Chains A and B, each alone.
Chain A
Amino acid sequence: MGQNNEKNLGWAPFVIGFILAFCVGWIFFGKHFAVPPLYGKLHQPVLFSHEVHTESAGMTCEDCHYLEPNGTWSGIPRLDKCIECHEEPQGETKAEIEFIKNYVEPRKEIPWLIYSRQPKNVFFSHAAHLKIARFECKVCHKDLGYNDKPPVYVYSRLSKYPQNYVIVMEDCMRCHKKFDAPNYCFTCHK
């Protein structure tokens, strides 16, 4: 009964729709395709170079990132730590001069963009991973500690959460299962 003079398009609309959606889905929402507009890109407010600080300045990782005596992680150091040396310019880069002008002088805390930012209901224990699991930093933070320029911060425009250098729940659970660590909800959530 479908016989008429018009061209019967048959499966064509279905296939076109399928391919269109398929491509749109994979291009815009796929994890490894960092194409706008879903993903936004930002730069860190200060072009901090780990390489300069560890090699030229001779600092160690623990100078800024350490376990406090009460078990909490110091995280990214606050402005006080930077001011210890950077009241006066220590080098000759433009980035440092801007940093001193915009943050050291007005004593403004640097709004770092944290790659490994977790949702607020997640409790991550650096103490357990460093002392019990004896992980090295690069297991989770990859090469962030050796860079010369901080990598671009890629985030999802919908949820505002970072997309690169971040660990999500499945990664945590996979690793916990592998190493026999507890996988109960309250181990990580609060």
Chain B
Amino acid sequence: MLTRRDFLKFVVGGAVGTLFSPLPWRMADEMVLFSQTWTYQPPKGKEKWVYTLCQLCPGGCGLKVRKIDDRVVKIEGNQLNPVNRGGLCPLGASSVQLLYGEHRRVKKPLKRVGERGEGKWEEIEWSTALNILTQKLQELRINGHGYTVACLDGYRNELVSGLIRRFCQAYGTPNYLTMPSGDETTSLVINALQGHEGHVGFDLENSDYILSFGSGLLEGWGAPVRMQIAYRYIYENPFKPKAKIIQIESRMSDTATRVDEWVGINPGTETALALGIAHVLIKQGIYNQEFINNYTAGFDSFKKLVLEQYKLERVSKITGVSKEDIIRIAKEFGQAKRPIAIWGRGKGDIPCGLYEIMAIHSLNALIGNINRKGGVICFNDPSETWWPEFGLDEIAKKTLSEPRIDTSKFPLITSLLYRFAENVNSQAHYKINALLIFEANPCYAAPDPALFIQALKNIPFVVTFTSFLDETAKYADLVLPAAFFLEKWEGITTPRGLQYPIFGVSKPVLKSPYDVKHPADVILTLAKNIKGIAQAMPWRNYKEVLKAAVKKLYQKGEGKLADKEYLVSLNLDGSSLPGSFEAMWEILNKCIWFNPNVKKEGFKTASGKFEFSPKELNLSHYEEWELKGEKEEFPLMLIPSERLMLTDGYLGNAPYMVKALPNTVLIKNDLVVEINPATAAKYHLIEGDKVLLKTPFGEAKVRVHISELVLQDVIAIPIGLGHNAYDEYLEGKGINAHQLLGYAKEKLTGIATWALSRANLIKI
């Protein structure tokens, strides 16, 4: 009989026997190997490097993309690019997550089922989608209603914008809109004051005194990486910087803490300060008399206005800057060798007032730095002027004469998105029958997005070309997947604020894993299928358009190719153009064309001089922004704050970027706003408290961070969070600052900005 003891002896014998056999070591070995394969290990493959250009902001950075087999694994900066010189910004570095994020990419054309805003779609084929679109556009055109089609262009420095404009003209609609930014107003001002539509660049690297009216030099203004390199160049020796930078804004941004001086002004009063500085310059005679006498007109009326109406008493009261500071800064500015005044709040996407830009640019005229080293450089961008002529058919000629839907009382201003929404809502003008949105997200980023969403109710057919399932896709009838920048051909034109023209060809790095098309190719297809506009688009596909543009560029014969390794020492060497167009096209696949010695565009006004007081506009003057809401109910001011780690608008923050946000921006899902300690004391708030932030446009729960870097009674809110679309890494985090900021209007011109708004805090 087997007893329990025997059984135990057997088991113990087995255990000891096991120890004398290789079993334990083998099992340990196997477990180790098993644990090493616990997590997903990416497969190895052949490595390849491809060059391309980034299109995530108007910065024009060159990229080096590392591919393993046909997978993109890393984005790095291309050293063969004089704009970014091998550097990157956080948004560019996280492009891989934007490219491959399956929960946010649009994979196939979608048709809406259910109500607008529900976010329910059914997948359809491209042929079906294109049929629907073509039919609708054809129908509207034939019935003479072509002008009721509006196009919203979300691109900034890409060649496809020109194609969309061309399509609108050939189709016959005057309603070509752009997402609001400082760029349109800048073009208008330059056109009025200097008489041309050329590109405006700022030669900051060679300046020795920079007066920055709220420009976030390190937060992404202009071309972000170029500004970082310029910053390093200027502060190479922090004891002896090459330029003195004065940062004028209501909140001491990172830029302000790192430059020479911060001037805190009341929100929205930049115009007054600029005219105050002009007052000191003129009164004390420290302006460039030679430039004023020889190259400007209308100075006398400007002088009279500034000396009479902008005395320092008044300016100091409006802006909150002391008289001594204004005099000192004006003197330094006027006596510097190569001073420059720049504008464009934050990243440059927040619109400025027309008279604001006029006032600041007048400072540039006063010290005579236009088209001089270290100053404002104006030139014609060849990538904008190469488009060949085309004829309009009868239908187009007729419908183009209709007025724009977003007209303001001010004849020169175009593309006012909030006005578009207002007019469509009120139905005072004609009805808009179709809206085509190209890689923009107005349902999130328009001034007062709720107003825009309401306007969409009156537009029966909304189509959006987008790479991501953003807020606008939720409200569209047809969502057409646009290729991400790594998946398509594109021509990159001069970045914002760069002082010389560039042109780059960004080629597709990989074949898209999804069923996408380049919106430009869709436009070319539409042109073929809609009667009457084929003559405007004689190209078979977008690559042909690019080749034609490069050919024109090559034939001009100017400029050089940027094929040297660029360092932070700002050299601008390059090679001359090659012997044949084919060779140029080949080389452009790796580096860009640029022209640092571009011919500067002189003054082309009727008088041939810089006009201080152009006929179409009045003299620059300060007027308070038209703000919604009453001061009694909303005693505080709300201003936006920007940073490189937060991107606004059409591109949602990549997961890595949301991860990198500090606890002074986001805590769990709560957005954090900054307030001054005095304001906190007034409202009995301590660090981290939850409050209800109320503005005339909406209200939301936020938390507070107490910081001395914000002016008293001003609240700074980060822009870029608060999405209710994209994927689980971004959805529901924070609140949409655009909704709370709404818009403020410039009285005379009707230009809307979200730079400031009235607000109130209620402790909860």
Complex: A in contact with B (CB within 8 Å): yes
Binding site for B on A (CB under 8 A): 6, 9, 11-26, 28-31, 70, 72, 119-121, 156, 158-161
Q: Out of B17, B30, B47, name the residue touching A159 (CB < 8 Å).
A: B30
Minimum Cβ distance to chain A for residue B51 (Å): 17
Query: Are B13 and A16 neighbours in the complex by a CB distance under 8 Å?
Result: yes
Chain A residues near B26: list those with CB within 8 A.
29, 31
Tell me the bound Cα distance from A3 to B77 in angstroms. Answer: 87
B22 interface hit (Cβ, 8 Å): yes
Given A9-B6, A17-B12, A21-B13, check contact A158 B20 (CB 8 Å): no
B502-556, CB < 8 A from A: none
Query: Are A30 and B22 neighbours in the complex by a CB distance under 8 Å?
Result: yes
Query: Are A17 and B36 neighbours in the complex by a CB distance under 8 Å?
Result: no
Query: Are A25 and B34 neighbours in the complex by a CB distance under 8 Å?
Result: no
Q: Out of A17, A29, A30, A156, name the residue touching B13 (CB < 8 Å).
A: A17
Minimum Cβ distance to chain B for residue A64 (Å): 15
Mask, B1-18, CB within 8 Å of A = 1, is: 111001101111111111
B113 interface hit (Cβ, 8 Å): no
Sample (8) of A-B pairs whose CB atoms are under 8 Å apart: A6-B3, A9-B9, A19-B17, A20-B17, A21-B21, A21-B23, A72-B47, A119-B36
Chain A residues near B681: list those with CB within 8 A.
none
B23-52, CB < 8 A from A: 23, 26-27, 29-30, 33-34, 36-37, 41, 47
Query: Are A25 and B22 neighbours in the complex by a CB distance under 8 Å?
Result: yes
Given A119-B36, A121-B36, A158-B34, check contact A29 B17 (CB 8 Å): no
Tell me the bound Cα distance from A14 to B6 in angstroms. Answer: 8
Query: Are B41 and A29 neighbours in the complex by a CB distance under 8 Å?
Result: no
Q: Which of B17, B20, B36, B37 has the most CB of A within 10 A?
A: B17
Minimum Cβ distance to chain A for residue B285 (Å): 65
Query: Are B33 and A161 neighbours in the complex by a CB distance under 8 Å?
Result: yes
Q: Out of A11, A12, A31, A70, name the residue touching B47 (CB < 8 Å).
A: A70
Q: Which residue of B lies closest to A121 (CB)?
A: B36
Q: Which residue of B lies closest to A7 (CB)?
A: B1
Chain B residues near A28: list those with CB within 8 A.
23
Given A72-B47, A120-B36, A156-B30, check contact A14 B12 (CB 8 Å): yes
Tell me the bound Cα distance from A100 to B1 in angstroms. Answer: 67
Tell me the bound Cα distance from A16 to B18 in angstroms. Answer: 12
Q: Which of A19, A23, A159 has the most CB of B within 10 A?
A: A159
Minimum Cβ distance to chain B for residue A27 (Å): 9
Tell me the bound Cα distance from A13 to B12 in angstroms. Answer: 9
Extra pairs beyond A17-B11, A119-B36 (6, CB < 8 Å)? A13-B2, A21-B13, A22-B17, A26-B21, A121-B36, A159-B29
Tell me the bound Cα distance from A12 to B9 in angstroms. Answer: 8
Tell me the bound Cα distance from A120 to B10 in angstroms. Answer: 41
Chain B residues near A31: list those with CB within 8 A.
22, 26
Query: Are B10 and A13 neighbours in the complex by a CB distance under 8 Å?
Result: yes
Query: Are B47 and A25 neighbours in the complex by a CB distance under 8 Å?
Result: no
Query: Are B16 and A26 neighbours in the complex by a CB distance under 8 Å?
Result: no
Minimum Cβ distance to chain A for residue B709 (Å): 43
Chain A residues near B14: list those with CB within 8 A.
17-18, 20-21
Minimum Cβ distance to chain A for residue B172 (Å): 49
Minimum Cβ distance to chain A for residue B631 (Å): 62
Query: Are A158 and B30 neighbours in the complex by a CB distance under 8 Å?
Result: yes
Chain B residues near A121: list those with CB within 8 A.
36, 41
Given A120-B36, A121-B36, A158-B30, check contact A24 B13 (CB 8 Å): no
Chain B residues near A23: list those with CB within 8 A.
21
Q: Out of B6, B16, B21, B41, name the residue touching A13 (CB < 8 Å).
A: B6
Chain A residues near B6: list those with CB within 8 A.
9, 12-13
Given A26-B22, A119-B36, A159-B33, check contact A17 B41 (CB 8 Å): no
Q: Out of B10, B21, B36, B37, name the residue touching A14 (CB < 8 Å).
A: B10
Query: Are B37 and A120 neighbours in the complex by a CB distance under 8 Å?
Result: yes
Tell me the bound Cα distance from A80 to B307 in angstroms. Answer: 79
Q: Which residue of B lies closest to A27 (CB)?
A: B21
Given A14-B9, A14-B12, A15-B13, check contact A22 B34 (CB 8 Å): no
Tell me the bound Cα distance from A156 to B25 in angstroms. Answer: 14
Minimum Cβ distance to chain B for residue A109 (Å): 10
Query: Are B23 and A29 neighbours in the complex by a CB distance under 8 Å?
Result: yes
Q: Which residue of B lies closest to A11 (CB)?
A: B9
Q: Which of A16, A25, A121 has the most CB of B within 10 A?
A: A25
